[in-house]
Amino acid sequence: MATHTASGQTTAHRPPAWVPVTSLGLSLVALAVASYLTVTHYADPAALACPDTGIVNCALVTTSSWSVVLGVPLAVLGLVWGAVMTGLTLPWSWRRPARWVDGTRLVLSGAGAAMVLYLVYVELFRIGAICLWCTAMHVTAVILFGVILAGRAASSAPLPART
Amino acid sequence: MSKSPAGSARRPRPAPSSKTNTGSRRSTAPTPAQGTRFRTRHPVLTALIPVGLVVAAIATMVVIKATGRSSPPAAASSHLAGTATGATTGTATADTGTTTLSPQVLDALSVPTTTLDAVGSPSSVALPTKVGNGNGAVAEGADGKPLITYIGAEYCPYCAAERWALAVALSRFGTFQNLHGTHSSDTDQYPGTQTLSFYGSTYDSPYVDFQAVEEATNQPDGDTYQPLQTPTAAQSALAAKYDAQGSIPFLDIANRYVITGSSFSPQVLQGLSRSQIAADLADSDSAVAQAIDGAANDITAAIASVTGNQPSSVGSSATIAAIAQKLGA
């Protein structure tokens, strides 16, 4: 959707077509990875399909004290986050003009990126091991944050009037 | 920014003051309109700035970790607030003899595999003793994992020595939290041996359960020391069964192997600070590494025998396999 301002400028409300597609794809990846981590958390953490080379040890990370926040497993938090982000990156959501949708999407993706920083710190300096599945989740979250920022930058700023 | 009735944005003109003029007639700083235009025309580049900051922060952490420089101390947490994992009958006695363990020391407990392999199993280090024919039932913790039980005390110099090896070994199977530094009694043998305390710590592992009991502090209390934790009935029974003389440290590895007393002499740690001991752990030629890493390898092999050689980083080690043979595992 595009509207014309009184000044003659055109304000675009839709991001480029690649933004909804990419963001939805990334959200689904995050949702899938978080689902797998959640299932294995409750089933058998040691059964995670993950190489064990010392520094890489998924089970060590996912069973550590840091894998639970206020009694809630991080895998479950990731699952909830992935589900909400999937909802917020559906084409329908991108088409909605409501500002709160745009704001929530940005805040949650930013919170995801901030959480990544904390979790990488914990993995490197507190646990001393890296979980590849968690890393996949981290990479996805950071890229998703970038895509949403790009979409917001492209859609929220006024475009020069066409002559 | 004001807009003209014609619809075009008018850029505010700079004040005609010559005193603040830098010599250029046109300002090179981007105006808000230019910034907006840049964001609109280069959304990906715009998005890359905060993402780049996140990536840079992660890269910095990786570099710090790789170069061995330690992180700032973790948020302070009172060791009095918790009890050692599994030791549910700890008393409320304040343990004034412990200090926060530095991150450098904590990191050093994860000794590089190459160093551990280079040390192997020195003959000067006592091997764990096999219980019976080694085919008895594996003792399991509450969640079904092989149970490792340690009983010691903070005043005890032999416990001080053994804790280092046990912590190094267990760091290959899980992670510690809230370990604290302490030292053995100043008036006992090997006075003031620097070590760490399991009191108030937690240990998480997908492979084993670990229960630690520190029976007393290093603070004198009449003819003895201030009590700290009391073993459970099951732990007392275990010690009575395999450690009739009641000596500490006592270590039971899932009822398959036991260690009574320390695996090496605390003499090797005399006069060394915790930081010095921690630094020596990575030097396979040092006397400290020969003693602590050597004992840790023996304990590791004994533990691996009850975890089905998991994790594979331990089970695939030729060094551990060779020690397991010596242990009759």
Spatial distance between the Cα atoms of A101 and A13, rounded to a whole number of angstroms = 12
Angle subtended at Cα B32 by Cα B28 and Cα B35, rounded to the nearest 5 degrees: 80
Confidence of residue B293 (pLDDT cuts 50, 70, 90): very high
Among B162, B183, B160, residue whose Cα is nearest residue B291: B162
Structural contact between residues B129 and B298, judged by C-beta atoms closer than 8 angstroms: no
pLDDT at A13: 59
Does pLDDT of B30 surpass 80? no
d(Cα B153, Cα B78) in Å, to the nearest integer? Answer: 19
Interatomic CA distance for residues A120 and A74, integer angstroms: 13
Least confident of A53-67, B10-24, B190-204: B10-24
Which of helix, strand or coil describes residue A19? helix
A–B CB contacts, 8 A cutoff, strictly below: 114
Q: Give backbone dihedrals phi and psi of A16, rounded to 5 degrees, phi first.
A: -55, 155
* DSSP letter for each residue of A21-48: HHHHHHHHHHHHHHHHHHHHHHS-GGG-
Mean pLDDT of chain B: 81
A5 — pLDDT class (breaks 50, 70, 90) = very low
Interface of A with B in 85-104 (CB under 8 A): none
Given B8, B65, B310, which is nearest A124 (Cβ)? B65
Flag whether residue A153 sits within 8 Å of chain B, measured between CB atoms.
yes
For residue B85, the chain A residue with the least C-alpha distance is A65
What value does the mean pLDDT take over residues B108-120?
94
Separation between Cα atoms, residue B202 and residue A3, nearest integer Å: 59
Mutate to test the interface with A, among B10, B11, B36, B44 (most CBs of A within 10 A): B44
Terminal alpha carbon distance of chain B: 80
Pick the residue of A124, A133, A137 with the most B CBs within 10 A to test the interface with B by mutation: A124
Q: What is the pLDDT of residue B5?
A: 38
Interface of B with A (CB under 8 A): 3, 7-9, 36-37, 39-40, 43-44, 46-48, 50-51, 54-55, 57-58, 61-62, 65, 70-71, 74, 103, 107, 110, 113, 171, 174-175, 177, 202, 204-207, 310-313
**Which of the two residues, B102 and B248, has the higher pLDDT score?**
B248
pLDDT at B142 over 90: no
Residue B101 CA to its chain's centroid (Å): 10
| A79-102 confidence digits (pLDDT tens) | 999 999 999 999 989 887 788 888
Q: Which pLDDT score, from 0 to 100, does residue B89 have?
A: 34
In the chain, the amino acid numbered B182 is T
Whole-Å CA distances, A134 to A50, A122, B87, B243, B252:
11, 12, 32, 44, 34
DSSP state of B186: S
Higher pLDDT, B40 or A45: A45
E strand or H helix that includes residue B175: strand B175-177
Summarize pLDDT for B220-272 with one digit per residue, the tens. 888 899 999 999 999 999 999 998 888 999 999 999 999 999 999 999 999 99
- The ipTM estimated for the assembled molecules is 0.80
Cis before B122 (ω within 30): no
> Residue B270 has which token pair?
């005399």
pLDDT exceeds cutoff 80 at B166: yes
Q: Which of A13, A116, A125 to mutate to test the interface with B (most CBs of B within 10 A)?
A: A125
Using the 8-state DSSP alphabet, how is residue A160 labeled? P
Q: Do strands B147-152 and B175-177 pair parallel, antiparallel, or not at all (unpaired)?
A: unpaired
Comparing A77 with B72, the larger pLDDT belongs to: A77
Distances (CA, A) of B61 to B55, B64, B68, B108: 10, 5, 11, 17
Q: How far is B88 from chain A (nearest CA, A)?
A: 18
Cβ–Cβ gap B58/A120 under 8 Å:
yes
- Tell which residue, B243, B242, B249, B251, has the closest CA to residue B266: B249
Cross-chain Cβ contact A7/B207 below 8 Å: no
What are the DSSP calls for B82-127, one per residue? ---TT-TTB-----TT-EEPPHHHHHHTS--HHHHHHH---TTSPP
Q: Which residue has the higher pLDDT, A42 or B143?
A: A42
- B192, pLDDT greater than 80: yes
Radius of gyration of chain A (CA): 19
Spatial distance between the Cα atoms of A91 and A95, rounded to a whole number of angstroms: 6
Place of tokens 């599945």: A133
Q: What is the rounded CA–CA span in Å between residue B86 and residue B188?
A: 28
- Compute the mean pLDDT over every residue in chain A, rounded to the nearest whole number: 84
